[in-house]
Structure 1
Amino acid sequence: MRDHELPGLGRTLAFTFGVAVRSHPGLTLGTLLLVPAGWAVGSLQALWLKHLVDAAVGGTAGAVVLAVSLLAVTNVLGWVAGALGGRMRQTYQEKAGVVLEQRLIETSAGMNGIEHLERADYLDRLDPLRREAWIVHWTFEALAETVGALAQTVLTMVLPASIHPALLLLPAFGVPSVLVARRAAERERVAQERTGEARRRQRHLVNLGSGAASGKELRIFGLGPRLVTLSREAWTGEHADRTHVAWVSAAQKMLATLPMAFGFTGALLLIGYGVVTGHAGVGDLALAVMLAATMSGNLGAVVDMTQWLVGCLAVGSRFLWLHDKAALDVRRHGADQTHAYPVPDRLRSGIALQGLSFGYPGTGRRIFDNVSVDLPAGSVTALVGENGAGKTTLVKLLCGMYVPDSGAVLVDGVDLRRLDLDEWRRRCSGAFQDHAQFELTLREAITVGDLSRLDDDEAATRALAAAGASRLLTTMPHGLDTQLGTTWPGGVALSGGQWQQVALARGLIRQRPLLTVLDEPTSALDAHTEDALFNRYAAAARQRAVDGGITLLVSHRFSTVRAADHIIVLDQGRIVEQGDHASLIREAGRYAEMYQIQADAYGAR
């Protein structure tokens, strides 16, 4: 399935039905029965009213009592169906909503890499899905409501046929409304996807304008009015597009109701003429008048329910699209895991890049072109280079987040694509400059780095010490049980450096990793603290070299990377130099130049 394609109606209905059944089979069946039953009440009331009028005109007391009894029973059943249906719908929506949110997390987080999270076309689809996931659990209810509304409308049109056979043609007058409603809903769905980028931009600007992280810069640079202008421009373009489509749809739906109005007007004239000529009774006219009075509402309900259903199915189809994309991602980027090679318990030769070429999809630009380099087992290797040199991209490739366009990442001589990727990532660890801020307890924010140690206080404390953050624990009011983040009751605000310490501790909690990546993990710390921390970590890593584990450090601070065993200098995706600090200084090349520039800058302070 190509990325731009959405699954068909049949698969989407099957998916939503599966969600409904898994959420609660009993509620699903109850909704399926009670919702249409509630819709049928109106037509039955009109029918019993016809019999009541005929009985009253004919002076038949028994028939009057029967008609009144049927009206009363129908009303009671309608009230019961409404009360039970409302309670069942609320319970079902809560259960189904949880199932859908869990499935969204599972599917999105379960993809092999992160390519999809860095592509605009994917985000344009995912963004409305994040906001509208709750709509999917309404799909089954919308289907039941649509069926009920259609049944009510058909009864409204068919019942007059008992008066005159020509009135069987009435349902045909309602077909245009249903067809137009479906097309209108599809146009509105397409318009929503077409304006996805503008909506994302507008929300991003709102977050910038109201978030704490950007608050200082907004005030220093006086950006508030500019953000308002940009947000208004993004909203205006998106709103104008969707509003135009909505007005066109409304006009078409209004015109599509005219055939039905003409049809029922003709039906009333025909029945009225029958009463005058004696071919129809007064009850028939009462039935027709009551049905005509509800016809507009019924027809509007069919249109609204159909549009609601199509909208729900559109969101459901995005869920399926995400599922299909995840399945395609596994087939395209990973080996058949049933035949995958096991990840070695320890590295013997190390990791090697062999003729590796790579460019981000959709950019048309190569980041790496035929790059080869060895990362020996047990080594501490540093990557240095200017911004945009390809350092973080190389980290993503080593962790299996992306697949090379050509060439390979070899782990002890085995192509990384042939390994069990889940197991490989379990043997990787690391901390990153763009780390996540898990607003959990301090313990959980650290131990999620190794799910087998979620309740291990000793491991969490040891990881904080390894990250040079033991003092952080002493400042927490409830120790490891302290809630992080001020958006939660009793939560504690952390500085940027403290969040980075927590992230580093999280990256160091795993035991015996084969690859540890430290990608600018201490950029918020001062140079002396970072230097001391890395020297301590490098010494510990060398002591663990018996496992062959490789430590990869990415840093702009040359005073820190000089302690590495091996230094790789990247420049525009090419390896221009490599060696240890002393040899690179002697070569007086690019590394020595950058080192001296930074040393002079620090010396001038």
Structure 2
Amino acid sequence: MSADIDPLDPLALRAAARSERKSVGRLRTLVGSSLALVWSSGRRVLLALVAVQLVAAAAMAGQVLAVERVLSGILAAQADPGAEVMDKVLTPVLALAALSALAAAAGAVQVQLQRLLGESVGRTMWSKVLGVATGVGLRYFESSEFYNRLNRVQTSALVRPYQVTQGLLSMASALAASIGLGITLYLISPLLLPLVVVAGIPLLITSGRESRLEFDFSVQQTPAIRLRSYFTMLQTGRDEAKEVRAFGLAGWLAGRFDGLYAAYLRDLRAHVLRRGLLSLVGQLGAAVVLGGTLIALVALIDHGDIGVAEAGAAIVAIRLLATQVQGLFRGVQSIFESGLFLDDLRQFLALGEAAIDEDTGTEAPERFAHLRAEDVRFRYPGADRDALKGVDVELRAGEVVALVGENGSGKTTLAKLLAGLYQPDAGHVLWDEQDVSSFRPSSLRERIAVVFQDFVRYALPATDNIALGRVDEPADPAKVRAAAAAAGAETMLDRLPNGFDTVLSRLFAGGTDLSGGQWQRVALARSFYRDAPLVILDEPSASLDPRAEHELFDTLRDALRARTALFISHRFSTVRGADRIYVLHEGEIVEQGTHDELVARDGRYAELYRLQTQLQVKGEPTRPPSPSSTQLRG
């Protein structure tokens, strides 16, 4: 597949797949890359599997020779009235039985070795795919086509490298057996051998079209399969279970799921029919040639060119050889069919390689005196307008800066740019006059702690949940406890059945659930444990009750320990003590200043503030909280 093919364009993928042609060079490339992967995943198992397949091939060829010896012994005994049949056939019969047992045992061992090797390859491929999924830029996760590619790789391409190698091993086994059987058949009659080989050509001709049909079907069905998986999750997810029951959604969800599955089965039936017809054509062609081979054998017997014993052995050899030749061509088909998926996989893994290549630059400084965003613009993939339009903000070391605005105003997007999770389409983010684009991205993110509104609730012990804030070093129990204390979570966690060792989920035995507010404190503790110079808090008190919210922000400056904090909030009571407040509206900074300055300006901030504070009680507004509050002030 060409290097300039868009890895997220399904039409480009299908066109590239159709343009691929079977060739010895391409076969060599597919075999080489897949074999290298399997070799690195489990070389000992691979060598053992090859050895077993060679034993099985040798046993198969030996069975043909044993059959010929048995028939020859029987005929010799019949020609000599004084001879004992058993004396003539005992040894070849025992040999035939032993070789049959050996072939059966080799087949059983082969199945288990293939299973072990398949899991080894699966582990390697999962590591590669998950590395891409966690390494690519956040923008990829705004693209549905990236999810389609990820899903297709997970469901199809992950097993294809092993299937290519399995096809190669099957080819090697079939080739070894074919050579042995071919020599035997050639010794009986040189005419029969090429006829048997020709019988596999119809299968090879039809296999190319089958391969492309399979890949096209996979690309076409990926969005529907993803949607079906989503409806499965809605019906089985723990978090979704309560709402499904509260709103009586079970029947509706089941209907949508069944409809999606019915559509898939309808398409699958048509696909299977097309593949089946192609396979039938190939098999009929092979059967015609094989029938001609048997007719030729009968003619040779009729003309006395071969004897009865040789004819019996030839029939066995023809049948076995025809099977092996077909297996040989099926192996070729398997390799080329998997090759289309491997091209898909290779393009996906290239995203991860690009992410590694992009993680270059100078190390981000340990601290900064000021951080600025200058004329920053950003647009999400597929969006028709900018999420940020020429935004300018500044954070000085040790300050607490707030972002406020209505939903969709761009607050979280701006936070992600300042956190180094997105790169601006225009403008600059500067640390002490140095553009962060010159820093190694991962080193920049190491200097920033982020707690998003939809933070992850890890089904792990409390200690791990907090220590995940810095995984580049072993968890320090004392630092974990200090971070929990700073977030007001220490006492709560100590009261759990196993204290900080309690698993924070009922998904696993011995675990327990936390309330939303308790989880928010754990997430805050995780950010404090990171001990980064910049802390970004997205709605840090969204799940807290008013008392807990007051306690949190009353101690927030002490918890930050002179670190710079940027926090986003819809609650204006939590931002009043910030050193500076930025008001965003439709992706633009429309106001900035302290709480008192913004209220006195009587602009958008003052309007939103009044909407929150002037609650109607019997038609009379309540007195708003005094603007002289010193919350968050140093």
**TM-score, normalised relative to structure 1:** 0.89
Matched, 1:495 2:515: yes
What is the Cα deviation at residue 232 of structure 1? 2.3
Query: 2:297, 2:181 → 1: CA distance?
Result: 15
Query: 1:475, 1:303 → 2: CA distance?
Result: 66
Matched, 1:46 2:64: yes
Distance change (3 Å), C-alpha of 1:272 and 1:229: same
Query: 1:53, 1:510 → 2: CA distance?
Result: 81
CA deviation map 1:12-65 (0-9, x unaligned): 544432332223322222223323542454344224313432343245999856
What is the Cα deviation at residue 110 of structure 1? 2.4
Matched, 1:599 2:613: yes
Which shifted more, 57-66 or 530-539?
A: 57-66
Matched, 1:57 2:75: yes
- Alignment RMSD (CA, Å): 3.0
Distance change (3 Å), C-alpha of 1:159 and 1:354: farther
Distance change (3 Å), C-alpha of 1:537 and 1:589: same
Match of 2:587 among 558, 573, 589: 573
What is the Cα deviation at residue 325 of structure 1? 1.1
Q: Give the secondary-structure state (helix, strand or coil) at the position aligned to 1:509.
A: helix
Distance change (3 Å), C-alpha of 1:135 and 1:469: farther
What is the Cα deviation at residue 192 of structure 1? 1.5
CA contact (8 A) 1:158 1:171 kept: no
- Give the match for residue 115 of structure 1: 139
- Give the match for residue 509 of structure 1: 529
Which shifted more, 67-76 or 243-252?
A: 67-76
- Give the match for residue 154 of structure 2: 130
Letter of the 2:507 partner, please give it.
Answer: T
CA contact (8 A) 1:149 1:298 kept: yes
Which shifted more, 94-103 or 184-193?
A: 94-103
Query: 1:565, 1:52 → 2: CA distance?
Result: 99
CA contact (8 A) 1:538 1:564 kept: no
Matched, 1:559 2:573: yes
Query: 1:9, 1:493 → 2: CA distance?
Result: 54
Matched, 1:28 2:46: yes
What is the Cα deviation at residue 592 of structure 1? 0.7
CA contact (8 A) 1:52 1:67 kept: yes
Matched, 1:389 2:409: yes
Which shifted more, 591-600 or 140-149?
A: 140-149
- Give the match for residue 626 of structure 2: none
Which shifted more, 281-290 or 3-12?
A: 3-12
Match of 1:417 among 413, 422, 437: 437
CA deviation map 1:487-534 (0-9, x unaligned): 2222223333333332222122122x1221101233222244224313
Superposed, 1:99-178 pairs within 5 Å as: 99-111=124-136, 113-131=137-155, 133=158, 136-149=161-174, 152=177, 160-162=185-187, 163-165=189-191, 167-178=193-204
Q: Give the secondary-structure state (helix, strand or coil) at the position aligned to 1:257.
A: helix
Superposed, 1:104-503 pairs within 5 Å as: 104-111=129-136, 113-131=137-155, 133=158, 136-149=161-174, 152=177, 160-162=185-187, 163-165=189-191, 167-294=193-320, 298=324, 301=327, 305=331, 309=335, 313=339, 316-331=342-357, 334=358, 337=360, 340-348=361-369, 350-452=370-472, 454-503=474-523
CA deviation map 1:134-159 (0-9, x unaligned): 56445423421243245546766775
What is the Cα deviation at residue 315 of structure 1? 5.2
Letter of the 2:375 partner, please give it.
Answer: G
CA contact (8 A) 2:486 2:559 kept: no
Query: 1:535, 1:199 → 2: CA distance?
Result: 49
Query: 2:548, 2:574 → 1: CA distance?
Result: 10
Query: 2:402, 2:242 → 1: CA distance?
Result: 34
CA contact (8 A) 1:534 1:560 kept: yes
What is the Cα deviation at residue 317 of structure 1? 4.2
Q: Give the secondary-structure state (helix, strand or coil) at the position aligned to 2:530.
A: coil
Letter of the 1:400 partner, please give it.
Answer: G
Letter of the 2:47 partner, please give it.
Answer: L
Query: 1:177, 1:219 → 2: CA distance?
Result: 53
What is the Cα deviation at residue 429 of structure 1? 0.5
Match of 2:549 among 530, 549, 571: 530
Query: What count of residue pairs does the alignment treat as equivalent?
Result: 592
CA contact (8 A) 1:535 1:563 kept: no
Distance change (3 Å), C-alpha of 1:247 and 1:590: same
Q: Give the secondary-structure state (helix, strand or coil) at the position aligned to 1:362.
A: coil
CA deviation map 1:81-117 (0-9, x unaligned): 3344344334333433333333332332223x21222
Letter of the 2:271 partner, please give it.
Answer: V
Which shifted more, 308-317 or 369-378?
A: 308-317
Which shifted more, 427-436 or 25-34?
A: 25-34
Larger radius of gyration: 2
Letter of the 2:502 partner, please give it.
Answer: T
Distance change (3 Å), C-alpha of 1:266 and 1:131: closer
CA deviation map 1:268-309 (0-9, x unaligned): 111112112211111232134324555675566557655655
Query: 1:150, 1:372 → 2: CA distance?
Result: 69
What is the Cα deviation at residue 347 of structure 1? 0.6
Query: 1:516, 1:42 → 2: CA distance?
Result: 70
Distance change (3 Å), C-alpha of 1:159 and 1:535: farther
CA deviation map 1:429-486 (0-9, x unaligned): 1211111121111111110111255431111111112222223213311111112322
CA contact (8 A) 2:195 2:290 kept: no
Which shifted more, 121-130 or 590-599?
A: 121-130
CA contact (8 A) 1:430 1:516 kept: yes
What is the Cα deviation at residue 252 of structure 1? 0.8
Q: Give the secondary-structure state (helix, strand or coil) at the position aligned to 2:511.
A: coil
Query: 1:128, 1:485 → 2: CA distance?
Result: 31
Letter of the 1:283 partner, please give it.
Answer: A
Query: 2:507, 2:495 → 1: CA distance?
Result: 19
What is the Cα deviation at residue 10 of structure 1? 5.7
CA contact (8 A) 1:447 1:453 kept: no
Distance change (3 Å), C-alpha of 1:509 and 1:410: same
**Runs of 5+ consecutive residues of structure 1 not aligned to the other structure:** none
Query: 2:152, 2:332 → 1: CA distance?
Result: 20
Query: 2:578, 2:495 → 1: CA distance?
Result: 33
CA contact (8 A) 1:37 1:148 kept: no
CA contact (8 A) 1:41 1:74 kept: yes
Q: Give the secondary-structure state (helix, strand or coil) at the position aligned to 2:147.
A: helix
Q: Give the secondary-structure state (helix, strand or coil) at the position aligned to 2:268.
A: helix
Query: 2:616, 2:501 → 1: CA distance?
Result: 40
Q: Give the secondary-structure state (helix, strand or coil) at the position aligned to 1:397.
A: helix
